[in-house]
Structure 1
Amino acid sequence: MKTTGYLKIFPILLILIFAFNFNVFADTNISVYVDNEKIDFDVNPIIENGRTLIPLRGVFEKLGAKVDWNKNISEAVIKDKSNEIQMLLGKNKVMVNGEIKDIDVPTKMINSRTFAPLRFITENLGHDIKWDDSTNSVYITKKDNVPISQNKILTVGSKENLIALLEYNSKLYNYIWREGRAVLDNSVSMDKSEAETPAPAAGPESDSSDTNNQVEGVQEGDIIKNDGKYIYINASTGLKIIDSNPANPKIVSTVEVLENTSISEIFIVDKKLIIIGQNNMFHIMDDAVESKIMIWPPRQYDDRTNVLIYNVENIEKPKLEKEYLFDGNYLSGRTIEDKLYLVSTKYINYYNYDIYNKDADIPVPYYTDVLTNSKYEFAYDEIKYFPNYIDSRFMYTVGIDLSTEAQPDVDVYLGGSDTIYVSKDSMYAAIADYSYDYTAEQTEVFSPVYTYSTVLYKFKLHDGNIDVESQGRVPGNIINQFSMDEHEGYFRIATTTGEIWQNTSKNNVYVLNSDMQIAGKLEGLAQGERIYSTRFAGDRIYMVTFRQVDPLYVIDTSDPIKPTVMGELKIPGYSTYLHMVDENLILGFGYDTEVNQWGGTVTGGLKLTLFDVTKPDTPKEVYTDVIGKSGTYSDILYNHKALMFSLQKGLMAFPVNVMGDNYKTEFNGAYVYNVKNDGLSFNNKISHMAADYSYRDEVKRIIYINDYLYTFSDNKMQVHSIENNKKISELSIKQ
C-alpha cells in the first residue's frame, strides 16, 4: 500500500517541479526596444513579482552604459558618463550615485548568468521606459543624462541603510586591498603633516617663537606652546607649565590628565589652555562573550577624543571650565581668534556586527559633556553623508566658542578624512576615494577597474560653527596638507596619478572654484615620478618630484584657468618639506641621493637646500648642506612643527639624529643655523644626551623667548644664550 501511494504521488510531484521551472525560466516572449530598435538576447528576459529581469549586457550598453560583473564581491556595476549603479547579488538595497536606494526585486544569478531589474536601472540612468501589455514589449527612450550633483548631502535615515552603506563600502575595500588589485602606489601615503605659509614673526612686545603654522592667523596645536612668559609642554608625567626665567626656570604647575588619556596637542588662546588628548575606554567582557568562538572578536576598548579647556588666569591653579569626549581618534584642530575647530574620526568595525540580524546593535555616534554628565546621541536621520564616500568611518566636525558657555556645534558624517587644510574662513577635508574607471576596457570575464582620486569636502567656519558647503573631486592622491591651498577665492591642490612602479605616474595641479568645480588644471608633469613636497606662495606653486633626480618646478597660477610651468631645476636628492624664507628664497629639507651600481637610487644624509627663485624661469640652488650619512633623520622631514624658524630673529633650529658609518649614531639633539635674506650658515648644535644614548633625552622641540633658546626632551629643558651659545640653565621636567 505504501509503495502504491508513492507511485501515485510521484507523477504529481514531477508535474509541479516542471511547472515551477517553466514559470521561471521559460521563454517569456518579452521584446525590448531602445529608441525603437529591438534588442536581441542570447538568454531571454524573465519576469519575477511583476518585474522584468534582463541579462546584464545588451540593453544597458545600448543606453551608453558600461556594464561589468565583479565576481570577487558578487556586484554588478552599471556606469555611464553621469551615473553609477552598484548592485550586490541578492540584496534589496543598491547604490545609485553613492546613495542607498531600495528595490523590490534584487539582482540574481540564474544558470551562471546575471539578471538585473530593467525598469529600476533604466530610470536611474535617466531614461524613459514604458510597458505595452498588448505586445508584451518594453519601450525605452534615451534621454540626455544630467551630471551627478557634487554638492548633494544625504542623511543615512535608518539602521538598515547604515548597514547597507557599510556593506557596499566594506566589500569594495576588501576587493581593492585584499584581492590584489590595489590601484595605489604603495610608496605614496598620506600623513598628517600640515603647513603652508611662514608663521608671522613675533612682535616686539612678545619676542618669542610660535608654532610653525600653516596659515597666518590660524593656530595649529603642538606638544609645546608659550605666551612669552610661561611655557606649556606635554611631558611624560603630564602637562607642565614652566616659568621661562632663563636664569631660574621652574615648574609652576602640572596639569594631570586621566591615566587612560594621552595628550595629542595643546593650544593657548588668551588665558585659555586647551588640551586635546586620546582617551581609551576599556570594556570588561562578560563570560558569554568570552566563551563564544569568533573569527574577528569585538574590540575591548573605544577610542575617544578628550577636549579639556582650562582657565589659566591663576597660573598655579588652572581651572577646568569645559570638558568633552568625542567618539573616535583626533585628526587635527585649529584655533581662530577665540574659536576652536577640530575633526575626529571613528572607525566602524563592520565585522563586529551581525549584518544579517535586523536587531543587531550598532552603536550610534555620540559625544559627552563630562562636567554636566550629559550624553548627546545622533539619530540615523542626523548622520550625514556625501554620495560616493569610500570608507567605513564616522567623521566628527566640532566647533567650540571658547568665549561663551554654548554647547559645541557638532556634526557627524559617514566617511572619514585623513588630511585637512584650514584657512580663516574655510576648512577642507580630503578623502581618499576609489571610483569605477569608466574609461578602462571592461569585459564580463574580468573584474572592474577602479581608479584613485581625492574627494574634497568644503566647510564654512563662522562664530564657532562648521557648516558644510560643497564637495569636489580631483584625480590622483595627495601626500599631505602641503598639497592644498586657498588663494583669492580659488582652492588649489597638487596630486599624483598612476603608478610609479609601472612608470605611469604623472603629477598635476588643479584649481577649483568656490563651488569646488575644476576651473583650471596643469597635468602630466614628470612622468614616472611622484610628488615629494609642494609649497604654495601667492600666485606661485613650488613642487618637488623625484625618482632619481630632484626636479623643482616653479608653477604660475596668476591665471587660475591656465596654470603654467615657469621654470624647472634638476639636482641630486629630493626635498620632503619646503619652507618659504621670503618671496625669493625657498629652503628644502630632504635627503641627498646617489645612483648605485645597479641603476637604483640610495639615500645619503639629510640635505638642506636653499633655492633662489628671483628669476622663476631659471631657479637655482645657492646653498647646500648635507648632515650625516644614510640613516640620518629629523622630524622636520615629515612634521613641519619640529622647525623653529624666524627671519626676524635670524635663527633656525630643528631636532636631528645624525648617523655615521654603519648606521651608528654620532649625534642626537638640535642643529641651529643663522638665517638671512641672502643665505644661511651653521651656528651651533645642542644635545641633551649623556655618554649613553637615551630615548627620553632626544630633543623634540626648540623655541626662543627674547634672547634665549629653549630645547626640550622628555626628561629635561635646557636654556642657551642666543648671543654666545652658552648654556644658562637646565630643568628636569620628568618629575
Structure 2
Amino acid sequence: MKLLNEYKNDLKFLISKKAVLLVVLGVLAAVVLGCVQSPGGQSRIEPPEKAESPSESAAQQLKKFSSADEIKEYINANSQQSSYYGSFVTRGFAVTGTADMAMEESAVPMAKSSGAAEFSQTNVQVKGVDEADFVKNDDKYIYTLSQDKLLIVDVYPAEDAEILSETEIEGIPRNMFVNDDRLVIFSVVDDEAFVIPEYDFVPRKRYAPRTHAFVYDISDRKEPILVNDFNVNGQYYQARMIGDYIYFIAKDNVYYQNNYIDLPVIREGAEKLVIPDVYYFDNPETNFVFHTIAAFSINKDEINAKSFLMGYSNNLMVSKDNIYISYQKNVPWRHHEQDNKERFYEVIVPLLPGKVRDEIEAVKSSGLSGYEKWEQVSSILEDMYNNMDEGDKEDLVEEIEEAVEEYELKKEIERRKTIIHKIAIDGGDIDYIAKGEVEGYLLNQFSMDEFESNLRVATTTEIWARRESRQYNNVYVLDGGMEVIGELEEIAPDESIYSTRFIGERLYMVTFKRIDPFFVIDLSRPEEPEILGQLKIPGFSDYLHSYDENHIIGIGKETADNQWGGTSIKGVKVALFDVSDVSNPEMIDKYEIGDSGTDSEALREHKALLFDRGKNILVLPIRKVKGDRYRDPRYGYYRQKVWQGAYVLGLTPEDGIELKGMVSHYEDDEDYRYYWGSPYAVRRSLYMDDVLYTISAKKILANSLEDLDDELAEIDLPYKQEKYYPVLY
C-alpha cells in the first residue's frame, strides 16, 4: 500500500508539471497493447498489432483489380483500418447526396456574319481548356440552365432578343459546354435500382446518383435534339473541354453490402456499355471513392473511361495534356495507434535508464500476448518511478516531453501532406502517369499549374501539437514523374494562402493574417524557387488575374484595425498591382465597394468574373451592404439595406480604377428584401460587340457598354417562384 501511495504522489507531482506520464503510462497503455485477450478470455477493444505499412515505393505503384471479388477483398481489408469516425465505404442503402493561361483577352473572333464580331467566353484557368458552367454563349445566343430547364436565348442584336426554346432536363442540371452545333449538359439523376445481394433472392431497392452527359444537337436552336446520354455512377465533380473532346469526372462512394459491391458502369441511356477498369494503390486511406474519368468526342458515339479508387479528392487542375487530382492525406485511425506504439519504443524507451530499457526490450521480444507484455512493461515503469528522486523524475519527463513533441511534429507534417495524381489525356485516351506528395494543403485549383512539363504547387501547412502550433506556406516544383525537384518552404509564418496565380516563370501569391503580403516568386529555375519581392498592405485578395505582363489584378476584401486590437473585414476591394520591378511590387490603385458584409461570387468562383483589357471592362457580381443598421418598426429587428447587381469597372495602369456603371435586376435601387439565392441575383455577365449582358435566374438584361444606363433589352426567364425570406443584417 505504501508503494501505491508513493506512486500516486508521483503522479500528482508529474501532472502539476504538465507531466507526460500520460505519454509514458496512461496513453501508452492504450496504444501498446494491440488487440488482445484479457486473462478472463473476454475480447478487448484495443487495435490489433498491425503489419508494417507498405513501403512508399510500393504504395506509389498503380495496380489494377482483376475482378470484383478482388475489389471486395481489398475494401474488406482496408475499411477495417479506416477512421473510427466512419469510412465512405457505404454498408447499407446509399444516401444521395502558366504562360498558357486564359486571362489576356476574353474576346473570340467569329467568321459568321450573323452574329457579333467579337464576344466574351467563360473565364478559365488554362487557355484552350474550357470549363463547364451553367451559362454559356457564342456570337449570337445565350445558353443558361435555369432550375430544370435549358434555355436558349437569341440575344443578338439585343433589340430583337427572344427566348427560342425551353428544354426540360432530367435530374438536377449542373453545368454545360457549347461547341458549335453541339451542347452537352451534365446532370445528376437519382436512379432507382434493384439489387439482389449474393446468394439472396429478394431484390433490394436502393437509390444512387448517376452523372449524365446529355449531348444535344442544336443545329436548330428552337428544337434541341438529344442525340446521346452517356452516364456513370456517382456525383458530378468537374468537366473540361479541349477541342472536340470532353472529359468529365464523377465521384462515387463505395457501396458494399451483403457481399455485393456496386462497380462503376458506363451506360448510354439505360444500356450498359462498359465496366471500366478500376485501378488502385496499395496504401491505406481514411475513405475510398471511385473516381471515374470519362472521355468522349462531342461528334462521336464512343466513350472511354477508367476508374481510380483513391481518397476523397477536393481539388482538380487540368492542362491541355494532363489531369491533376489532389486530396489531403488522412491517415486511418489505427495507423495513428500504430504511430503511438512506435513512438513509445522508438522515442520514449531509448531515453529511459539503461536497465529499464533492457528490461522493456526483453519483454517486447518475448512471446507474450500484447496484454501480458503491457502488464509487465507498466510494472517496470512503476518500479522505475518509485525509485527515482524528484529531480531526476522531472528531468526525465521534460526530456521525454521534448522528444515526443519533435516526433509528433514530424508525424503531423506527414499526415497533413497532399497527394496529387497525374493522369494523361490525349484525344479521348486516359492514361495514369504518376503520384506525388507535397507538404500542406491546397487552397483551390489555382494552387496548381503545369509549365514546361513541371507541376508547380503552392500549399499551406498547419500543424497542431501538444505545446506548439505552426503555420506557414510552401512552393514546390514536381517533374513529369511527380518527384519534387524544387522547394521553397516556411514562407510567411503564422499566415495562410488566400490566393495564388502562376503566370509563366512567376508565382504571385497572397497570404493573410492581419495584413496582405503580396509575394512575387521566381520559378525560372525550377530547382531553386526564390522570393523576388513582396508588398504588405491592408486587406487581402481572394483571386488574382493577369492584366498584362507587368500588372496583376487582385479581387478580395479590405480590412482595418479595430478597437480591440484585431482586424475587421470591410467591403470588396479591387486592386491593381505593378510588378514591373519584381523586387519592389506596388499597388497602383484600389477601388472599394460597400461596407462589412459586402460580397462577390467572384471571390470564390472565377467564372463569375468578366474581364477584357481591350474593352477596358471588369465586371463583378456584387452584393453591397452599406450604411448603419436601423430598426425596422414593422418587424422589430435591425437591418441594413442591400444592393445586388453587377459593378462595371474600368482599369488601366495609367488611369487606375474607375466605376463605369452598375446594373441591377431589382426594380428598387436598394432593397432590404434581397436574400441569398434570390432569382434576381446577377450571377454571370458577358458581352457581344458593345453590349453587356447580365444574367440572373429571373432575367437577362442588355445594356450598352457605351452608356450602361441605356437598357437595350430585358428578357424575362421562366422561373418557378418559391417562398423565400429575407436575410436579416
CA apart distance, 1:465: 1.8
Residue 337 of structure 1 pairs with residue 243 of structure 2: yes
Q: Is the 8 A contact 2:31 2:46 kept in 1?
A: no
Please give the alpha-carbon distance, in whole angstroms, between the structure 2 residues aligned to 1:284 and 1:148. Answer: 38
Pair 1:666-2:578 in alignment: no
**2:263, 2:650 → 1: CA distance?**
54
Deviation at 1:75, TM superposition (A): 8.0
Cα deviations by residue, 1:424-472 (Å, 9 ceiling, x for unpaired)? 1111001111246999992279998542111000011111122111000
Determine if contact 2:417/2:438 at 8 Å carries over to the other structure. yes
Identify which of 161, 168, 181 aligns with 1:256: 168
Which residue of structure 1 aligns with residue 144 of structure 2? Answer: 233
Inter-CA distance 571–377: structure 2 relative to 1 (3 Å threshold):
same
Q: CA offset at residue 602 of structure 1?
A: 1.7
Does the 8 Å contact 1:199/1:216 carry over to 2?
no
SS of match in other structure, 1:696: coil
Q: Does 1:712 align with 2:676?
A: no
The answer to whether 1:160 aligns with 2:73 is: yes
Aligned partner of 1:683 in structure 2 is 660
- 1:199·1:214 contact (CA, 8 Å) conserved in 2? no
CA deviations 1:309-356 (Å, max 9, x no partner) are 111112211111110221111111100000001111112367xx4xxx
Match for 2:253 among 343, 347, 353?
Answer: 347
Displacement of 1:114: 8.5
- Name the residue aligned to 2:606: 640
1:300: how far off? 5.9
Separation (CA, whole Å) in 2 of partners of 1:241 and 1:659: 33
Give the alignment partner of residue 223 of structure 2, picking from 304, 312, 317.
317
Determine whether 1:401 maps to 2:297.
yes
Q: Distance in 2 between matches of 1:481 and 1:462?
A: 21
**Equivalent of residue 429 in structure 1, options 317, 325, 329:** 325
Change (3 A) 1:550 1:361: same
Amino acid at match of 1:248: D
User: How big is the shift at 1:682?
Assistant: 1.0
Change (3 A) 1:689 1:168: same
- Against the structure 1 CA distance between its residues 109 and 72, is the aligned structure 2 distance closer, same or farther, given a 3 Å change threshold? farther
Question: After superposition, what is the alpha-carbon deviation per residue over 1:149-182, rounded to whole angstroms, capped at 9, x for unaligned?
Answer: 634335382412222222323437679xxxxxxx
Find the counterpart in structure 2 of residue 536 from structure 1.
Answer: 502
Equivalent residues in 2 for 1:74-473, closer than 5 Å: 89=35, 116=49, 147-148=57-58, 150-155=60-65, 157-171=70-84, 197-198=102-103, 200-205=105-110, 206-236=117-147, 238-244=149-155, 245-258=157-170, 261-281=171-191, 301-348=207-254, 353=257, 359-370=258-269, 373-374=271-272, 376-377=274-275, 382-385=278-281, 387-435=283-331, 442-443=343-344, 450=412, 451-473=415-437
Structure 2 letter corresponding to 1:616:
V
Deviation of residue 668 (structure 1)? 0.6
Verify the 8 A CA contact 2:594 2:625 in the aligned structure 1. yes
Aligned CA distance change for structure 1 residues 90 and 395 (closer, same or farther; 3 Å): farther
Note if contact 2:418-2:438 (Cα within 8 Å) is conserved in structure 1: yes
Q: Which residue is 2:718 aligned to?
A: 734
**Could you report, residue by residue, the CA deviation over 1:641-679 in whole angstroms, capped at 9, with x for unpaired residues?**
000111122111011000023362331100001233533
3-state DSSP of counterpart to 1:365: coil
Structure 1: gaps of 5 or more residues:
1-66, 78-87, 92-107, 126-144, 176-194, 287-297, 354-358
| Partner residue, 1:547 | 513
Q: Which amino acid aligns with 1:168?
A: Q
- Alpha-carbon distance between aligned partners in 1 of 2:478 and 2:564, rounded to the nearest angstrom: 43
Q: Counterpart of 1:520?
A: 486
Q: Match of 1:476, as an amino acid?
A: G
In the other structure, the counterpart of 2:401 is: none
Match of 1:44 in 2: none
Distance 1:69 1:344 in 2: 47
By how many angstroms is 1:697 displaced? 0.7
Change in 2 beyond 3 A, CA 1:115/1:698: closer
Structure 2 counterpart of 1:648, one-letter code: G
Could you list the runs of 5+ residues in structure 2 that have no partner in the other structure?
A: 1-22, 89-99, 111-116, 197-203, 349-403, 630-638, 720-729
Whole-angstrom distance in 2 between the partners of 1:499 and 1:331: 29
Q: Return the structure number with greater strand share.
A: 1
Asked if 1 retains the 8 angstrom alpha-carbon contact of 2:522 and 2:530, the reply is: yes
- Separation (CA, whole Å) in 1 of partners of 2:36 and 2:136: 57
Contact 2:294 2:303 in 1 (8 A): no
Shift in Å at residue 528 of structure 1? 0.6
Cα 1:311/1:68, change in 2 over 3 Å: farther
Structure with bigger RCO (C-alpha 8 Å, 6+ apart): 2
Aligned residue pairs: how many?
578
Deviation at 1:68, TM superposition (A): 12
| AA in 2 matched with 1:681 | E
**How many angstroms does 1:488 deviate by?**
1.1
**SS, match of residue 417 in structure 2:** strand
Q: How does 1:625-636 map to 2 (within 5 A)?
A: 625-636=591-602
Q: Within 2, Cα distance between the matches of 1:69 and 1:164?
A: 31
3-state SS of 2:172 partner:
strand
Deviations 1:587-609 (A, max 9, x none): 11111112223322221111111
Contact 1:506 1:526 in 2 (8 A): yes
CA apart distance, 1:511: 0.2
Paired with 1:262 and 1:588, the residues of 2 have a C-alpha distance of 34
Helix, strand or coil for the counterpart of 1:617?
coil
Distance (Å, rounded) in 2 between the aligned partners of 1:317 and 1:216: 32
Q: Which amino acid aligns with 1:509?
A: V
- Equivalent residue, structure 2, for 1:60: none
1:569 is aligned, of 509, 532, 535, to 535
CA gap 1:412/1:578 in 2 versus in 1, 3 angstroms: same
Structure 2 counterpart of 1:31: none
- Aligned residues: percent identity? 31
What amino acid maps onto 1:507 in structure 2?
A: N
How far off is 1:70 after superposition?
13
Alignment CA distance shift 1:484-1:523 (3 Å): same
* Separation (CA, whole Å) in 2 of partners of 1:478 and 1:70: 36
Q: Structure 1 643/387 Cα, relative in aligned 2: closer, same or farther at 3 Å? A: same
Task: Report if aligned partners of 2:28, 2:344 keep a CA contact under 8 Å in 1.
Answer: no
Corresponding residue for residue 32 of structure 1: none
Q: Are the structure 2 counterparts of residues 613 and 415 from structure 1 closer, same or farther at C-alpha, using a change threshold of 3 Å? A: same
**Cα distance in structure 2, aligned partners of 1:567 and 1:439:** 41
1:554, 1:616 within 8 Å by CA — same for their partners in 2?
yes
Given the alignment, which residue of 634, 642, 654 partners 2:620? 654
CA shift in 2, pair 1:382/1:72, >3 Å: farther
- Structure with more of its chain in helix, by fraction: 2
Shift of 1:394: 1.3
Return the letter of the residue paired with 2:617. Answer: L
Change (3 A) 1:527 1:690: same
**Distance between the aligned counterparts of 2:285 and 2:129, measured in 1?**
28
Please report how far the alpha carbon of residue 383 of structure 1 lies from its aligned counterpart in structure 2 after TM superposition.
4.7
- Partner residue of 2:9? none
Displacement of 1:285 in angstroms is 12
Paired residue for 1:474, among 402, 422, 438?
438
Q: Per the alignment, do residues 374 and 173 of structure 1 end up closer, same or farther by CA in structure 2, a change over 3 Å counting?
A: closer
Which residue of 1 is the match for residue 705 of structure 2?
722
| Contact 1:668 1:687 (8 Å CA) reproduced | yes
Secondary structure of the 2:497 match is strand
TM-aligned CA distance change 1:734 to 1:307, over 3 Å: same
Distance 1:526 1:173 in 2: 35
